[in-house]
Chain A
């Protein structure tokens, strides 16, 4: 069953076209990796999916579970199950991580017509999930990402994802900044979320992550287009040979 469907997606930022016709289908339970050179549009794609302002979709369509994502606000998309683990998570001084997450958790429940949970229930859940990705409980009390190390920020993103249990997980270079142990722990957290009720887009530069989170499909994004797709062997090939072939095929295609 197709969960995410992207058709002929064109998007620009400040009048400059970045995504130049993307077609992508991700089935329920599948994990797709997206690789590609710096500036090829990977983060742009993730922002367009999450609904960030300033990213103008000029053509094309995005459906999640058959619903038109592009007509929804950012928060409606989150309630529909979109979760973006940011490449550069922003710090929010003054807002404690726990209070922020309870607000998020309950907002989503409310939007879905579910009952909001009590403080005690939420705490229990948050502690459980924090353990899963070995997030230092001290970080729960601190302001969101404020003064977090690069790796702590990434771990915090995956912690949030584990807690909010989205339909569509988009991980934008979650592996960068993680040490070897953290990479393993975070990957285990992500793998625990794999399942038929969920689809994942994993953006990365490194084949190593894909040893842990083994993708069903690997896509290569060059200059705003997917130029080639394959199984996880493609990632190994790219690791060995770089993006030159992909670039050439983009030029010829």
Chain B
């Protein structure tokens, strides 16, 4: 594999993981605009544990992701009291606060950044991303995923059916935070350097865009969205100066024509019906 291709695929892997971190709460109807903050917790957590305590990656990554998940859980309860634009604002602010904390934390280098000695190669990163996709596929086959959709679709009725709407929402938010932390941990371990400035608003917003573009109705949407956003700009390299403008224009047009995203449930049903008709 060429160095260029490997580099692109590593970025893709991180984008896929991040997309699923946003997807989980979004499947339950919650917009998390602060996903970069949770990535930062995972990244700094893994960096700190491997550097200062000499932990192995195998121990540092789960603990760092769990820490991100825990912060998501604790903060999810009050934050998820808000809805719509207020929730977006609250999570946005949260992401900023987390990044600001790391920016000012001298034990992890502050604004100068923090260099790691442990290293995760590209294949480890690929395996991590594939692992996340597999776990998501598994979850999508369970009642948990069903309840995410139910809670998003009609919280009043879900509640009357006995489903804990807040429980489901907080769980999705915290799980998403954990996935973000997982991705962040490998990000730090792969690039061997973390700086708080990387985990900025743009990173959060872009990740949300992957999911909106790919579609939040099915588990395949985030994967499709992350692939498109990572690979399409590379494919457009011929028109170097205009590629981002062309790309942005395309996104705007696409979202206007297909606001529910690339991959939808009705798309799958269409496939299913066609294959049913084909078989006797």
A binds B: no
